[in-house]
Amino acid sequence: MHPDSPKYLWDVQNAAALIERFVSGRSYEDYVSDPMLKSAVERQLEIIGEALNALSRRDPATAKVIPDLARIVSFRNVLIHGYASVDDKLVWGVVEAKLSTLRHTITDLLAPS
């Protein structure tokens, strides 16, 4: 693993943990009706995408282990560049269906060998 990789992975892990904290006990209806919650979740997803993009440039071997890395980076691009047309259902679906798996993968990568 490249010496910078743990920092990128920690950023992903921290952002994912924050998202899980933000949405704990919240519903989709809460999400769409709370602009601060939406902004917080989207910002952390942007951080995840940016950290994984940096990881893929710096350490392609480690990046290959992360499922859907290219899709995560693309999603980050949509959040940043297509902010006016972000689909709330898609964002919520990612949070509910994908975030936990990503966190487990990152935790495994950060575990001492």
pLDDT tens figures, 19-46: 999 999 999 999 999 999 999 999 999 9
Q: What is the pTM of this model?
A: 0.94
Residue 112 scores a pLDDT above 90: no
Helix/strand/coil (H, E, C) string of the chain? CCCCHHHHHHHHHHHHHHHHHHHCCCCHHHHHHCHHHHHHHHHHHHHHHHHHHHHHHHCHHHHCCCCCHHHHHHHHHHHHHCHHHCCHHHHHHHHHHCHHHHHHHHHHHHCCC
Domain spans in the chain, listed from the N-terminal domain onward: 5-110
